[in-house]
């Protein structure tokens, strides 16, 4: 969908030019802000044990009007896209008079196919594909007791008119396929899960290879847990696998490098810009410009270009993630990280795709240096305190390392530590960098946004593992 087509689409559901003209009255030389207009279609389809749950299709539309001056922000939103609703919002945020003309600006990024739509494949074919996954899974093992397969997709159009009169559009597809399997062996139930997605169409995941790969991986995880022994406990070396384990980096470190946390001094990194905060082999990036990735955007939700931002370079804290308001207050540059869940929410600094760059070692070389420790290949969930960086993460797949070799799968392993300390204890960084499969969703201040994470395999010399002594 071109910018012109996006404009035509939104004008079919509202008198966009009138809304924009009224909204410009909110802005003056003293304040900044934007009008955010959104149309969103979300579809959710699930099959549980071969039975199709009622497909859900939600369509929402609305606008949010914001002005900010220094630390004072005024925000009003409505699901009514009409003149009356906009004038009411104007009463809440108005500080000046209009003096701008609307100018449509081209996007510099072109990261995903904007012609995609949520109905590009029929509902019948989506259900058919999920049933094929269910049937294939049950044919793979007699131990399977439950299969849940689901597709979640979003098609979003946004129009962002800023206080300088510049208007930009973005048309954003988002798809995620998930599979959850439960098996029973010797009276013990275990589960496995696999998921993936991104900003692309259904044709990227509706394939025979996808069906086989998802089932095999979910089943492998479940069967592995059935054979696992209890995890050891205590301080020990831990090797993190590549890809999804970057969620630890995202939670324990990334949130502390968002501009609002630094400005308010609620981050443990608030006074450390320019200082060495990690081992010299650690470089961390936030990049919203990777094509088709779940955390990528052509423009952020304030109308800024997304970009590649270096946060930590060879151990030194060199950059932060900023939205417009915090960048102004801190006299720094906007980084394209102003994000919001929907028109009902004000934008705040958020991560996009956050990851650690690769190093020089193979995973085998890293593991060979560990006499006794844990290899955490993937995580299921975790809890983090942003102010201190303290975290607890549960490993969904982990193994015991003994005398430089992976031996037994373990269960119940939890990693306990804090971001600032862990950064300095990374002694080896692998050459096997990868991003996650496109499944991340980040929560902050009551808002949920899609994100990406990634890293190579890394060795943390010492971290507390919660488990049971062997």
Q: Residue 158 in 3-state DSSP?
A: strand
Q: Would you say 389 and 253 are in contact if contact means Cβ atoms under 8 Å apart?
A: yes
Q: How far apart are CA 253 and CA 262, in angstroms?
A: 12
Residue-wise burial string across 63-83, b where 16 or more C-beta atoms lie within 10 A, e elsewhere: bbbbbbbeeebbbbbbeebee
Q: How far apart are CA 268 and CA 257, in angstroms?
A: 9
CA distances from 155 to 58, 173, 201, 439 (A): 11, 5, 10, 17
pLDDT of residue 182: 97
Going by pLDDT thresholds of 50, 70 and 90, the confidence category of residue 315 is very high
Indicate left, alpha or beta for 45 from its phi (over 0: left) and psi (-120 to 50: alpha): beta
Q: Would you say 173 and 199 are in contact if contact means Cβ atoms under 8 Å apart?
A: yes
Tens digits of residue pLDDT in 414-466: 999 998 899 999 999 999 999 999 999 999 999 999 999 999 999 999 999 98
CA distances from 381 to 394, 413, 430 (A): 6, 12, 23
Q: Would you say 349 and 337 are in contact if contact means Cβ atoms under 8 Å apart?
A: yes
pLDDT of residue 469: 53
Cα-Cα end-to-end distance for the chain: 59
Going by pLDDT thresholds of 50, 70 and 90, the confidence category of residue 380 is confident
DSSP 14: S
Residue 65 reports pLDDT greater than 80: yes
Q: What is the DSSP string of 201-250?
A: -GGGT-SHHHHHHHHHHHHHHHHHHHHPEEPP-EEEEEEEPSSTTHHHHH
Going by pLDDT thresholds of 50, 70 and 90, the confidence category of residue 95 is low
If we measure between CA atoms, which residue out of 266, 281, 272 comes closest to residue 389? 266
Residue 101 reports pLDDT greater than 80: no
Share above pLDDT 90 across residues of the chain, in percent, rounded to a whole number: 76
Q: How many CA atoms lie within 13 A of 168 on its CB side?
A: 21
What is the pLDDT of the chain when averaged over all its residues? 92
Going by pLDDT thresholds of 50, 70 and 90, the confidence category of residue 307 is very high
Average pLDDT on 99-108 reads 79
Pairwise pLDDT comparison (151 vs 70), residue with the higher score: 151
pLDDT of residue 43: 95
Going by pLDDT thresholds of 50, 70 and 90, the confidence category of residue 99 is low
pLDDT of residue 100: 65
CATH architecture for residues 3-227: 2-Layer Sandwich (3.30)
Tens digits of residue pLDDT in 385-403: 877 788 999 999 999 999 9
Q: How far apart are CA 429 and CA 363, in angstroms?
A: 9
CA–CA–CA angle 435, 273, 355 (5° rounding): 0
Going by pLDDT thresholds of 50, 70 and 90, the confidence category of residue 97 is very low
Q: How far apart are CA 295 and CA 350, in angstroms?
A: 10
Tens digits of residue pLDDT in 23-64: 888 887 778 899 999 999 999 999 999 999 989 999 999 999
Largest Cα separation within the chain, whole Å, is: 74
pLDDT of residue 7: 76
What residue segments make up the domains of the chain, in order of their start? 3-227, 234-466
Nearest 10 degrees: Cα torsion 259, 159, 60, 441? -30
Residue 214 reports pLDDT greater than 60: yes
Secondary structure E strands in 245-366: 284-287, 308-313, 316-317, 338-339, 348-349, 353-356
Q: How far apart are CA 338 and CA 200, in angstroms?
A: 22
DSSP 256: G
pLDDT of residue 145: 95
Average pLDDT on 75-99 reads 79
Contacts with 76 (C-beta within 8 Å, 6 or more apart), sequence order = 64, 65, 66, 88, 89, 90, 92, 93
Residue 252 reports pLDDT greater than 90: no
Pairwise pLDDT comparison (16 vs 351), residue with the higher score: 351
Q: How far apart are CA 367 and CA 460, in angstroms?
A: 11
Length in residues, the chain: 470
Residue 96 reports pLDDT greater than 60: no
pLDDT of residue 470: 44
Q: How far apart are CA 258 and CA 22, in angstroms?
A: 33
Q: How far apart are CA 51 and CA 172, in angstroms?
A: 31
Average pLDDT on 304-327 reads 97
């Amino acid at each position: 969908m071109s910018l012109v087509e996006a404009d035509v689409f939104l004008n079919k559901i509202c008198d966009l030019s009138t809304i924009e003209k009224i909204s410009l009255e909110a802005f003056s030389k003293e304040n900044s802000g934007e009008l955010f207009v959104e149309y969103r279609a979300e579809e959710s389809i699930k099959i549980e044990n071969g039975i199709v749950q009622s497909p859900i299709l939600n369509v929402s539309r609305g606008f949010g009007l914001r002005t900010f001056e220094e630390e004072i922000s005024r925000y009003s939103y409505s699901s009514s896209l009409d003149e009356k609703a906009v004038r009411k919002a104007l009463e809440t945020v108005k500080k000046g008079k209009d003096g701008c003309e609307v100018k449509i600006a081209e996007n510099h990024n072109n990261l995903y196919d904007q012609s995609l739509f949520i109905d590009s494949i029929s509902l019948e074919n989506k259900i058919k594909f999920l049933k094929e996954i269910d049937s294939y899974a049950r044919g793979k093992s007699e131990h399977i007791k439950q299969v849940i397969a689901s597709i979640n997709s979003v098609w979003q159009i946004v129009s962002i008119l800023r206080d300088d009169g510049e208007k930009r559009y973005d048309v954003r597809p988002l798809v995620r396929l998930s599979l959850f399997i439960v098996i029973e062996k010797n009276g013990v139930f275990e589960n496995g899960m696999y998921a993936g997605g991104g900003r692309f169409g259904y044709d990227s995941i509706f394939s025979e290879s996808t069906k086989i790969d998802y089932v095999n991986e979910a089943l492998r995880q479940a069967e592995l847990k059935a054979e696992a022994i209890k995890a050891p406990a205590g301080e020990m070396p831990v090797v993190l696998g590549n890809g999804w384990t970057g969620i630890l980096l995202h939670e324990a470190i990334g949130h502390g490098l968002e501009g609002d946390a630094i400005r308010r001094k609620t981050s443990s990194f608030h006074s450390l810009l320019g200082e060495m905060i990690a081992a010299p082999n650690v470089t961390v990036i936030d990049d919203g410009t990777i094509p088709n990735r779940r955390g990528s955007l052509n423009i952020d939700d304030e109308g800024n270009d997304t970009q590649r931002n270096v946060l930590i370079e060879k151990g030194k804290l060199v950059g932060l993630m900023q939205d417009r308001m915090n960048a102004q207050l801190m006299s720094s540059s906007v980084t394209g990280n102003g994000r919001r869940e929907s028109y009902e929410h004000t934008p705040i600094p958020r991560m996009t795709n956050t990851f650690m760059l690769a190093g020089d070692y193979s995973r085998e070389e890293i593991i060979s240096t560990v006499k006794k420790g844990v290899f955490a290949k993937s995580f299921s969930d975790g809890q983090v305190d942003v102010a201190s960086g303290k975290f607890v993460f549960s490993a969904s797949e982990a193994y015991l390392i003994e005398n430089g070799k992976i031996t037994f799968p373990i269960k119940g392993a939890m990693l306990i530590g804090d971001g600032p300390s862990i950064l300095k204890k990374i002694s080896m960084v692998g050459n096997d960098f990868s991003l996650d499969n496109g499944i991340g969703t980040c929560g902050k201040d009551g808002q949920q946004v899609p994100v990406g994470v990634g890293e190579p395999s890394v060795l943390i010399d010492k971290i507390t593992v919660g488990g049971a002594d062997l």
